[in-house]
Structure 1
Amino acid sequence: MRIIKKFSKYLTVILFVLISCNQNESADIDLSQRLGPDFIKIDTDSGATVFSPEKGQIILDFKHENERKYFRFQTDEVFNKESLTEESLYYLEGTLITKMDSKVLILTIDKNKIINIIDEFSENEYLLVEGYGLAYHKKLKSPPSGRLTFTLETNDDDCDAGGVGSSGCSTDDCSVDCRAGYYSCCEENNMVNDKCYCKQDKTLAGPG
């Protein structure tokens, strides 16, 4: 009986050490070294708040040099996490990478384009979320005092830039990249915030 208790005690200690090592390994990841020079580094003032205001969207809301900005990621995957990232965000066309809760958070519209980056991490080091649109809103004309809120776009003909057949578009305030099968739409507005987003290209759908 004593032998069993001792074995259980030693096993508990070993598991604790292994878990601690894994957590420390994730915490010590240097993304600037892993990702290379192609990614644009965005230093936030105090990290980005990550949340999902409704199904199909993930928001990273942050301040850079005291100006409010955000990334908006459109996805079909369920994302129930709400947390705060570390200060640096890394952005490349269609992909956003940062660290959240001691893991590397990877949001991408095409994982095949960054498979060499994903291979840099072990499975327990990252959380991968695939989607179909990544927008960067670098300027808000009328930033809200509280949490950002969104509704999914339903209009078909309000695009000032982009439109059917385009994979990306931009205005002075925002830009967006879209996965194949979707098209970009950018709406300019003089009074409220511009909108940049992706919509499914129904012209590519087969006959019903």
Structure 2
Amino acid sequence: MEKLIKRYIKKDDPETLHDLRVYARKVLSNLEKEGKIDLGLKELLKKSSKLRDTDVLLEICKNKKAKKYLKQKHKKLRKKFLKWLKDFKSLVITLEPQKHKEISLKKCKEILSESFLNKDEKSLHKIRIEIKKCRYTNPKYEKKFKLLQDTLGKMHDYYNCERLLLKLNQNPKTAVKKKLKWLKKAEKKRIKVLKVLDS
């Protein structure tokens, strides 16, 4: 963790920030099983969320006006995050006993029982969060859930690109097209995962 933080402070690298966030999620996931939480890591995810979004959008939004806007936003967000990161401290605390630490496969099936195609972005984002929980608490199906989660994530990225382009009065046609492409892929994966869970 310390190595990743030092590396990111030294160099603005999107992959290092991504690795830092993945590491934080894994640690938090394992702590949750023990009824604990690291408040420092939870705050790290919160503080770096918008910065990570700009990294992703800089990669996928090819519009010149959008790129200029994102570079300026990225610079401000990174400066703010680095200031916070220099004083980062891990703080593990024990949570109140929880009755339902794990999400049952029955619950996961319920989440995947309806088509993604007729759902709005807000609903799909909530579903993606629930799929993450399914992934972390059902190791046998982790790879399947991860593929589905990643596909929905790609769709969400292009949705964010679409929103940004509309905000900047730019044509979002390409972003919309790619968003729909990833949504269709996610729907196919949803059907496959549901079949695996039913078998």
Larger radius of gyration: 1
Normalising by structure 2, we get a TM-score of 0.24
Larger relative contact order (C-alpha < 8 A, sep ≥ 6)?
Answer: 2
Whose helix fraction is larger, Structure 1's or Structure 2's?
A: 2
TM-score normalised to structure 1 length = 0.23
**Which structure: greater strand fraction?**
1
